[in-house]
């Protein structure tokens, strides 16, 4: 039994961490919830009774065996090394450590073996984790020459306040009031924004380059040819991704469906004639990543495939993946 701490417990990821730990019967003797001074004293109900949010301090967080961190990159950079000076292990959801050579970046269905005895473990970017769990079984069987991804990302990917901006500004729009924006650079209701995070020198956004670099690290293939266009859309929850691949070996949809039926963490929903395919509404609050619209690509023919994935980015893209990592180290 482990003593668990969650830092950022009032955020959208932190709240899902609490749910996942109880729902999966994680073997814990204690759960402590930390956030900023703003939230200290707030009550959170859990299946095992009410817990009180504590103001974060290194001294208190250090007393946990495993600390799940869901704050910001700068916060993680400052505090994760201090918390792990003792026996505690930190599993961090920010981008702070993902590309550090000495820190594992883990999607348990793909590379749990990278965990070894690390003290700080990085959870991947949400879009990357959802893609990796669906793409890896295909990569292993058929090899990948090229992978081209376009994303449709929910507002909760930018945090609780961003999700509320969608709700509040949609109401303003429908009531004929002025629509403004704060968490997003443009109004999000009835719009989409083809840029997530800052731009980088090669004219891809940082979010897009996270998908490229993190997938390479998780797959242990620094040469993987992959590109991404990341787009924010006005949904609350679950990211969708359209994926086109060119493979090294011949591929066809039937074989892929068969392989994915036995793969962990994915669920094939692929009956488009009957309107059955992955969607944010069906993928929300679900642990498995949905995959469908699996079809032979008409450019690469027997060496190519198109498919569509949709996964709950608060779960597989964040909280669930972090709890699965914790399950692997107990």
Ligand X SMILES: NC(=O)c1ccc[n+]([C@@H]2O[C@H](COP(=O)([O-])OP(=O)(O)OC[C@H]3O[C@@H](n4cnc5c(N)ncnc54)[C@H](OP(=O)(O)O)[C@@H]3O)[C@@H](O)[C@H]2O)c1
Please say which residue, 195 or 293, places its beta carbon nearer to ligand X: 195
Q: Which stretch binds ligand X (CB under 6 A): 255-263, 268-276, 293-301, 314-322?
A: 314-322
With contacts defined by CB under 6 A, how many residues of the chain interact with ligand X? 29
Candidates 36, 172, 229, 276: give the one binding ligand X (CB under 6 A). Answer: 36
Residues 91-120 close enough to bind ligand X by CB under 6 A: 93-94
Does position 126 interact with ligand X (CB under 6 A)? The reply is yes
> Is the CB of 17 or the CB of 224 nearer to ligand X?
17
Secondary structure (DSSP) of 139-181: HHHH-EEEEEEEEEB-GGGG-HHHHHHHHHHHHHHHTTPPP--
Query: For this structure, is 181 an active site residue?
Result: no
Q: What is the rounded CA–CA span in Å between residue 90 and residue 329?
A: 11
Pick from 10, 128, 151, 235 the residue near ligand X by CB under 6 A.
10
Catalytic hit among 20, 228, 239, 310: 239
Q: By CB under 6 A, is residue 12 in contact with ligand X?
A: yes
User: Which residues does 322 contact at the CB level (< 8 Å), separation at least 6?
Assistant: 17, 20, 68, 70, 91, 93, 123
**Least distance in angstroms from the C-beta of 281 to ligand X:** 17
Tell which one of 51, 62, 63, 72 touches ligand X (CB under 6 A).
72
Closer Cβ to ligand X, 34 or 142, answer by number = 34
Q: Specify the 3-state DSSP secondary structure of 130.
A: helix
The answer for residues whose C-beta is within 8 angstroms of residue 213's C-beta and 6 or more apart is: 99
- Asked if 157 touches ligand X (CB under 6 A), the answer is yes
Supply 251's token pair: 């591929």
DSSP string, 36-105: -TTTTT-EEEETTEEEEEEE--HHHHTTSSEEEE-S-HHHHHHHHHHHTTSS-EEEE-SSTTTT-TTS-B
Residue appearing with tokens 């990821």: 13
- Binder among 18, 21, 71, 224 for ligand X (CB under 6 A): 71
Q: Does residue 156 touch ligand X according to CB under 6 A? A: yes
**Does the annotation count 228 as an active-site position?**
no
Q: Can you tell me the distance from the alpha carbon of 288 to that of 319, in angstroms, rounded to the nearest whole number?
A: 13
Q: From the list 4, 70, 166, 315, which residue makes contact with ligand X (rule: CB under 6 A)?
A: 70
Q: Cβ closer to ligand X: 138 or 323?
A: 323
Angle formed by the axes of helices 253-261 and 126-142, nearest 10° = 120
Q: CA-CA distance, 15 to 160, in Å (whole number)? A: 10
Among 35, 121, 131, 315, binds ligand X (CB under 6 A): 35
* Catalytic (active-site) positions: 126, 239
User: Which residues in this chain contact ligand X in the complex, by CB under 6 A?
Assistant: 7-14, 34-36, 38-39, 56, 70-72, 75, 93-94, 126, 156-157, 159-160, 313-314, 317-318
């Amino acid at each position: 039994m482990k003593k668990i701490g969650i830092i950022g417990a009032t955020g959208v990821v932190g709240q899902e961490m609490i749910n996942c730990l109880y729902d999966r019967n994680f073997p814990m003797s204690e759960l402590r919830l930390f956030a900023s001074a703003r939230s200290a004293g707030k009550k959170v109900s859990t299946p095992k009774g009410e817990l009180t949010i504590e103001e974060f301090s290194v001294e208190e967080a250090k007393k946990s065996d495993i600390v799940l961190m869901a704050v910001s990159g700068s916060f993680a950079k400052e505090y994760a090394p201090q918390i792990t000076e003792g026996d505690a292990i930190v599993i961090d959801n920010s981008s702070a450590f993902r590309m550090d050579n000495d820190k594992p970046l883990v999607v348990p269905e793909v590379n749990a073996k990278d965990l070894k005895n690390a003290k700080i473990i990085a959870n991947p970017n949400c879009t990357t984790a959802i893609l990796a769990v669906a793409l890896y079984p295909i990569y292993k069987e058929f090899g990948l020459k090229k992978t081209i991804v376009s994303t449709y990302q929910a507002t909760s990917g930018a945090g609780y306040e961003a999700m509320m901006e969608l709700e509040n500004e949609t109401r303003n729009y429908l009531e004929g009031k002025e629509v403004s924006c704060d968490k997003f650079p443009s109004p999000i209701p009835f719009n989409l924004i083809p840029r997530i995070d800052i731009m980088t020198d090669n004219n891809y956004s940082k979010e897009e380059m996270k998908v490229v670099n993190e997938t390479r690290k998780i797959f242990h293939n620094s040469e993987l040819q992959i590109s991404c266009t990341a787009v924010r859309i006005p949904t609350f929850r679950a990211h969708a991704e359209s994926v086109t691949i060119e493979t090294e070996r011949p591929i066809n949809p039937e074989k892929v469906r068969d392989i994915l039926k036995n793969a962990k963490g994915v669920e094939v929903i692929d009956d488009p004639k009957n309107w059955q395919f992955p969607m944010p509404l069906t993928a929300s609050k679900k642990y498995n990543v949905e995959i469908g619209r699996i079809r032979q690509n008409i450019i690469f023919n027997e060496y190519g495939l198109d498919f569509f994935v949709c996964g709950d980015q608060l779960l597989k893209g964040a909280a669930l993946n972090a709890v699965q990592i914790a399950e692997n180290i107990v």
